[in-house]
């Protein structure tokens, strides 16, 4: 009797197991696919320029002539990785310092070949650039000056003062300005405007 009951119990257990296998849900493998996206953040070049304007030149002339010089500081900031170029030109086609009907004419020296000022002329210099030496300093009505200068070019004929090759933070260029006058130069305040331009490379 016991044996019969055991067999029946075993048969029932097997039947339930088979039934469980029959009704268990089938599990399918999940499908997947991947794709990449590239994110590009483009940062544009920026550049700014400031100067120490105005530059004041005060001359007390003598019969032989005197030179007065003073400096301007040009400051450039740019994030451009290849740097910038700094140029100089007059603000217009007239390159004279003017006081009423009187003038200082632009000096005949050039950036590549600067020369000493003649009476009644004015000019600029950038120490150690172009043909300029490194000896520039403030002069006050100096009657024995031997410093060399270039005449500022007219608008549209800018001269390149400096070229850099990397980004710049408060990069400064010292530009010297000078005039020479003798006692034949009428008194007065003579003025002109020059333009510095900083352009990314």
Domain boundaries, the chain: 47-200
Q: What is the pLDDT of residue 43?
A: 97
| Mean pLDDT across 5-10 | 46
DSSP H or E segment with residue 50: strand 47-50
CA distance 102 to 83: 41
Q: What is the pLDDT of residue 99?
A: 98
Q: Is the pLDDT of residue 19 over 50?
A: no
Q: What is the pLDDT of residue 28?
A: 78
Specify the pTM.
0.84
Q: Is 13 helix (H, G, I), strand (E, B) or coil?
A: helix
CATH assignment of 47-200, among 2.20.220, 2.60.40, 2.40.160, 3.40.50: 2.60.40
Of 147 and 22, the one with more pLDDT:
147
Q: How many residues in total does the chain contain?
A: 201
């Amino acid at each position: 009797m016991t044996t019969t009951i055991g067999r029946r119990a075993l048969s029932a257990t097997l039947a339930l197991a088979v039934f469980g296998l029959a009704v268990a849900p089938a599990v399918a493998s999940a499908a997947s696919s991947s794709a990449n996206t590239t994110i590009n953040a483009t940062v544009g070049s920026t550049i700014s320029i400031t100067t120490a304007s105005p530059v004041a030149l005060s001359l007390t002339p003598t019969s032989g002539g005197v030179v007065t010089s003073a400096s301007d500081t040009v400051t450039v900031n740019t994030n451009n990785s290849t740097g910038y170029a700094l140029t100089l030109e007059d603000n217009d086609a007239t390159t004279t310092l003017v006081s009423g009907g009187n003038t200082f004419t632009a000096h005949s020296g050039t950036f590549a070949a600067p020369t000493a000022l003649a009476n009644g002329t004015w000019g600029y210099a950038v120490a150690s650039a172009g043909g300029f030496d490194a000896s520039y300093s403030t002069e006050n009505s100096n009657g024995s000056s031997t410093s060399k200068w270039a005449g500022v070019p007219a608008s549209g004929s800018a001269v390149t003062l400096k070229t850099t090759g990397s980004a710049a933070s408060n990069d400064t260029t010292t530009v010297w300005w000078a005039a020479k006058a003798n006692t034949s130069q009428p008194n007065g305040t003579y003025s002109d405007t020059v333009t510095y331009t900083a352009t990314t490379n």
